[in-house]
């Protein structure tokens, strides 16, 4: 019997899509403004997942250089057809709706072709595309008809429901105007469509209710990929809204047959904390839950919390950076290099307030977590930071004889400084459970920022972690902890991250 860990993928891994090829499973997730883009994880047992590569590993595959925060790589669908992997995705406010292919899911992937509207050279307008083929080999792209623009009003979005087109994949052009399919039970934001043929029937799975607390998954059934589709009597199939479940916002799912022949649904969710479970520190993660079938309809079980044991990751920088390192709107190699057992980050005039900082980081994977780095600031100024976006971040910065802790919280800045004469220092950024007090615990966690000088660990600040949660920042991403430089050259000799989910 397969052990289903939850989260299936810890940390910022939203919008999962999964495909089974032979005896292996391949899973893709969204990356928004981060590069490399669209990670691909592989498993042979649905328990252990290995990051084997990314789709977007070269300039130009994703047009995220200038996208606003929260734009970029939204909601991939990964499939396998005629011996080739296919991935469709919307590069939101970037290139548009794209189709990538690869013979090996680890890559390299193609440059990405725009899926064009019928009769124009403009991208299909919509998000969360899905791709499926009928018995004759005709490809269908089904998507959520949300019209995107740089000044999109989230309170009055232009939404056309779930739409579909037949596509010529040689020309990457729609063969028809978009057709409306089925848009759920009436909840807001019908999105994340996936179309399947199962036992001779066609199914349309969607998310609805918004990607916040009202998130849900619903399904409809028809006789062809074009429908018409009839709603399942038990919709929504899964939702955590108005429940005390520790995993909330469950939705945006994809169905697949698991290792023992049982059906599974991978989906996104969050793990909120505080007295009212109001703050999700790590953002949207990937989860999994069993699926059963009766009378031609699936039933999706509520998502159960089953965290993995804690982990410890130690990086000594004596080899090239592994695949977990990511940059903001540019690749890690654009701002950092491994040289002589050190990670060297070169400043370029940017700060973490800028769209393309000299920053490389890794996802925070555990609710209780600590990262320590040893750095040399003899030639520059830089440090350790946790980032949600340009406006919400925490920095622990060294150089010019001092260490400064900073909290940038939506335009509010607070600083704490301690003298540090040496050039080689150990910085520590810890995320811990809040200590008990006289009232209701009203935060997700507390950041402890410290420096070790001459063998003594000195705590500079404690910062309320709720301000770096998805609910406060309204971010689609999650916490990314990394190193940066703002002046000269800063080298890092060691990175240690350890944590657990108790």
Residue positions annotated with a catalytic role: 15, 191
Omega within 30 of 0 (cis) for the link into 169: no
Beta strand ranges found along 400-479 (DSSP E): 402-409, 412-419, 424-432, 446-453, 456-464
- Give the CA distances from residue 200 to residues 189, 197, 229, 457, in Å, rounded to whole numbers and listed in that order: 29, 6, 14, 65
Burial state string for 460-485 with b = 16 or more CB within 10 A and e = fewer than 16: bbbbbbbbbbbbbbebbbbbbbbbbb
Q: Is 234 strand, coil or helix?
A: coil
Degrees, nearest 5: CA angle 366-283-107: 85
By 3-state DSSP, what share of the chain in percent is helix, strand and coil, each rounded to 5?
A: 0, 50, 45
In whole angstroms, give the CA distance from residue 270 to residue 21. 28
Supply 430's token pair.
């810890």
**Chain position carrying tokens 């063998």:** 455
The gap between the terminal CA atoms of the chain, to the nearest Å, is 25
Q: State whether the Cα torsion 178-184-188-194 is positive or negative.
A: negative
In whole angstroms, give the CA distance from residue 456 to residue 327. 32
Neighbours of 497 (CB within 10 A): 22
Burial state string for 308-327 with b = 16 or more CB within 10 A and e = fewer than 16: beeeeeebebeeebebebbb
User: How far is Cα of residue 223 from the mean position of the Cα atoms in its chain?
Assistant: 34
In whole angstroms, give the CA distance from residue 113 to residue 111. 7
CB neighbour list of residue 434: distance below 8 Å, 6 or more residues apart: 441, 443, 445, 446
Helices and strands in the chain: count of H runs, count of E runs: 1, 36
Q: Nearest CA to 457 among 418, 491, 490, 483?
A: 418
In whole angstroms, give the CA distance from residue 399 to residue 446. 25
In whole angstroms, give the CA distance from residue 96 to residue 75. 12
In whole angstroms, give the CA distance from residue 38 to residue 89. 9
């Amino acid at each position: 019997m397969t052990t289903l860990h939850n989260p299936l993928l810890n940390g910022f891994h939203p919008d999962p899509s999964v495909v089974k090829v032979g005896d292996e499973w391949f899973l893709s997730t969204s990356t928004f403004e981060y590069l490399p883009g669209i990670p691909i994880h592989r498993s042979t047992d649905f328990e252990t997942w290995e990051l084997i590569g990314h789709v977007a590993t070269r300039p130009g595959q994703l047009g995220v250089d200038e996208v606003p925060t929260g734009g970029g790589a939204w909601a991939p669908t990964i499939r396998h057809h005629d011996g080739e992997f296919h991935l469709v995705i919307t590069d939101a406010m970037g290139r548009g709706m794209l189709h990538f292919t690869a013979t090996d899911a680890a890559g390299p992937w193609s440059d990405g072709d725009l899926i064009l509207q019928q009769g124009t050279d403009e991208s299909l307008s919509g998000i969360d595309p899905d791709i499926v083929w009928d018995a004759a080999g005709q490809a269908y792209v089904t998507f959520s008809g949300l019209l995107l623009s740089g000044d999109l009003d989230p309170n009055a979005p232009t939404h056309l429901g779930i739409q579909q087109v037949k596509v010529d994949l040689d020309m990457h052009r729609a063969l028809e105007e978009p057709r409306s399919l089925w848009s759920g039970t009436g909840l807001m934001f019908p999105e994340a469509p996936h179309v399947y043929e199962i036992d001779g029937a066609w199914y349309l799975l969607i998310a609805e209710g918004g990607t916040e607390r009202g998130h849900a998954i619903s399904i409809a059934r028809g006789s062809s990929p074009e429908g018409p589709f009839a709603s399942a009597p038990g919709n929504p199939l899964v939702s955590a809204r108005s429940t005390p479940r520790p995993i909330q916002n469950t939705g945006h799912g994809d169905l697949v047959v698991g290792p023992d022949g049982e059906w599974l649904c991978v989906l996104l969710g969050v793990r909120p904390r505080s007295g009212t479970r109001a703050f999700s520190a790590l953002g949207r993660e990937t989860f999994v839950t069993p699926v059963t079938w009766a009378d031609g309809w699936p039933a999706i079980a509520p998502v159960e919390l089953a965290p993995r044991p804690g982990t410890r990751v130690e990086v000594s920088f004596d080899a090239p950076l592994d695949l977990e390192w990511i940059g903001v709107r540019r690749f890690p190699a654009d701002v950092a290099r491994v040289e002589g057992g050190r990670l060297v980050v070169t400043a370029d005039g940017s700060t973490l307030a800028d769209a393309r900082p000299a920053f490389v980081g890794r996802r925070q994977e555990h609710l209780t977590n600590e990262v320590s780095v040893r750095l040399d600031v003899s030639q520059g100024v830089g440090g350790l930071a946790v980032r949600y976006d340009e406006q919400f971040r925490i920095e622990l910065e060294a150089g010019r004889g001092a260490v400064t802790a900073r909290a940038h919280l939506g335009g509010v800045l607070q600083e704490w400084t301690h003298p540090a004469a040496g050039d080689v220092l150990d910085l520590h950024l810890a995320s811990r459970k809040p200590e008990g007090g006289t009232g209701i615990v009203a935060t997700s966690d507390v950041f402890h920022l410290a420096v070790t000088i001459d063998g003594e660990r000195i705590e500079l600040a404690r910062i309320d972690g709720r301000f770096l949660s998805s609910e406060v920042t309204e971010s689609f991403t999650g916490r990314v902890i990394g190193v940066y430089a703002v002046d000269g050259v800063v080298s890092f000799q060691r990175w240690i991250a350890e944590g657990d989910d108790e």
